Amino acid sequence: MCAAMLSLEAIILGLSVPVMISVEDVRPGLALTVGLGLAVLCILTAGMLRRPQAYVVGHAIQVGAIASGFLVPAMFVVGAMFALLWFAAFFLGRRIEADKARWAAEAEATEDEPGSEPA
Protein backbone atom coordinates (compact mmCIF):
# COMPACT_ATOMS: atom_id res chain seq x y z
CA MET A 1 0.00 0.00 0.00
CA CYS A 2 2.81 2.41 0.80
CA ALA A 3 4.43 1.74 -2.57
CA ALA A 4 1.15 2.55 -4.30
CA MET A 5 0.87 5.81 -2.37
CA LEU A 6 4.41 6.80 -3.28
CA SER A 7 3.85 5.92 -6.94
CA LEU A 8 0.72 8.04 -7.16
CA GLU A 9 2.43 10.84 -5.28
CA ALA A 10 5.33 10.73 -7.75
CA ILE A 11 2.89 11.38 -10.60
CA ILE A 12 1.33 14.35 -8.79
CA LEU A 13 4.70 15.81 -7.84
CA GLY A 14 5.91 15.47 -11.42
CA LEU A 15 2.77 17.21 -12.67
CA SER A 16 3.31 20.03 -10.20
CA VAL A 17 6.42 21.18 -12.11
CA PRO A 18 4.55 22.85 -15.01
CA VAL A 19 2.19 24.47 -12.50
CA MET A 20 5.14 25.85 -10.56
CA ILE A 21 6.71 27.29 -13.70
CA SER A 22 3.70 28.62 -15.60
CA VAL A 23 1.19 29.53 -12.92
CA GLU A 24 3.31 30.42 -9.89
CA ASP A 25 6.33 31.82 -11.80
CA VAL A 26 8.84 29.68 -9.95
CA ARG A 27 12.27 29.54 -11.60
CA PRO A 28 12.46 26.44 -13.83
CA GLY A 29 15.60 25.12 -12.11
CA LEU A 30 13.99 25.28 -8.68
CA ALA A 31 10.72 23.81 -9.94
CA LEU A 32 12.50 20.90 -11.61
CA THR A 33 14.67 20.28 -8.56
CA VAL A 34 11.78 20.27 -6.11
CA GLY A 35 9.06 18.62 -8.22
CA LEU A 36 11.06 16.04 -10.13
CA GLY A 37 13.48 15.52 -7.25
CA LEU A 38 10.65 14.52 -4.92
CA ALA A 39 9.02 12.45 -7.68
CA VAL A 40 12.22 10.47 -8.33
CA LEU A 41 12.72 10.06 -4.60
CA CYS A 42 9.18 8.66 -4.35
CA ILE A 43 9.88 6.07 -7.05
CA LEU A 44 13.22 5.05 -5.54
CA THR A 45 11.75 4.80 -2.06
CA ALA A 46 8.80 2.74 -3.30
CA GLY A 47 11.31 0.22 -4.62
CA MET A 48 13.20 0.09 -1.32
CA LEU A 49 10.27 -0.43 1.05
CA ARG A 50 11.56 -3.84 2.12
CA ARG A 51 14.06 -1.94 4.27
CA PRO A 52 12.86 -0.13 7.41
CA GLN A 53 14.97 2.94 6.55
CA ALA A 54 12.85 3.51 3.45
CA TYR A 55 9.84 4.29 5.62
CA VAL A 56 11.80 7.09 7.29
CA VAL A 57 12.54 8.48 3.83
CA GLY A 58 8.83 8.11 2.99
CA HIS A 59 7.93 10.18 6.03
CA ALA A 60 10.46 12.83 4.94
CA ILE A 61 8.95 12.88 1.45
CA GLN A 62 5.59 13.73 2.98
CA VAL A 63 7.16 16.69 4.77
CA GLY A 64 8.77 17.78 1.49
CA ALA A 65 5.50 17.48 -0.40
CA ILE A 66 3.71 19.64 2.14
CA ALA A 67 6.62 22.11 2.16
CA SER A 68 6.31 22.46 -1.62
CA GLY A 69 3.21 24.45 -0.74
CA PHE A 70 5.53 27.39 -0.18
CA LEU A 71 6.08 27.35 -3.96
CA VAL A 72 2.55 26.35 -4.99
CA PRO A 73 -0.01 27.06 -2.25
CA ALA A 74 -2.34 24.30 -3.49
CA MET A 75 0.39 21.78 -2.62
CA PHE A 76 -0.26 22.41 1.08
CA VAL A 77 -3.63 20.72 0.59
CA VAL A 78 -2.43 18.07 -1.87
CA GLY A 79 0.64 17.29 0.24
CA ALA A 80 -1.49 16.99 3.38
CA MET A 81 -3.88 14.61 1.61
CA PHE A 82 -1.01 12.41 0.47
CA ALA A 83 0.52 12.53 3.94
CA LEU A 84 -2.76 11.30 5.42
CA LEU A 85 -2.93 8.51 2.83
CA TRP A 86 0.73 7.62 3.46
CA PHE A 87 0.31 7.39 7.23
CA ALA A 88 -2.93 5.42 6.86
CA ALA A 89 -1.19 2.94 4.56
CA PHE A 90 1.84 2.81 6.87
CA PHE A 91 -0.13 2.06 10.03
CA LEU A 92 -2.57 -0.29 8.30
CA GLY A 93 0.35 -2.17 6.75
CA ARG A 94 2.00 -2.56 10.15
CA ARG A 95 -1.27 -3.85 11.57
CA ILE A 96 -1.67 -6.37 8.74
CA GLU A 97 1.92 -7.60 9.22
CA ALA A 98 1.32 -8.04 12.96
CA ASP A 99 -1.87 -9.98 12.27
CA LYS A 100 -0.07 -12.21 9.76
CA ALA A 101 2.67 -12.95 12.30
CA ARG A 102 0.09 -13.74 14.99
CA TRP A 103 -1.85 -16.04 12.65
CA ALA A 104 1.33 -17.84 11.64
CA ALA A 105 2.29 -18.32 15.29
CA GLU A 106 -1.19 -19.63 16.11
CA ALA A 107 -1.08 -22.03 13.16
CA GLU A 108 2.34 -23.28 14.21
CA ALA A 109 1.19 -23.75 17.81
CA THR A 110 -1.85 -25.70 16.60
CA GLU A 111 0.32 -27.99 14.47
CA ASP A 112 2.64 -28.67 17.41
CA GLU A 113 -0.14 -29.80 19.76
CA PRO A 114 -0.25 -33.56 20.26
CA GLY A 115 -3.30 -35.20 18.80
CA SER A 116 -4.21 -32.29 16.58
CA GLU A 117 -5.20 -32.97 13.01
CA PRO A 118 -3.66 -31.01 10.16
CA ALA A 119 -6.05 -28.51 8.66
What's the whole-number average pLDDT of the chain? Answer: 92
Q: What is the pLDDT of residue 63?
A: 97
Q: What is the pLDDT of residue 115?
A: 62
CA angle 44, 35, 86 (to 5 degrees): 55
Closest Cα to residue 10, out of 48, 74, 58?
Answer: 58
How many angstroms separate the CA atoms of 15 and 10, rounded? 9
For the chain, the structural domain boundaries read 2-109
Report if pTM > 0.85.
Answer: no
- Following DSSP, what letter does each residue of 89-109 receive, concatenated? HHHHHHHHHHHHHHHHHHHHH
Residues in the chain predicted with pLDDT less than 50, given as ranges, are: none
Closest Cα to residue 6, out of 41, 56, 30?
Answer: 41
Q: What is the pLDDT of residue 85?
A: 96
Q: What is the pLDDT of residue 41?
A: 97
Residue 20 DSSP one-character state: I
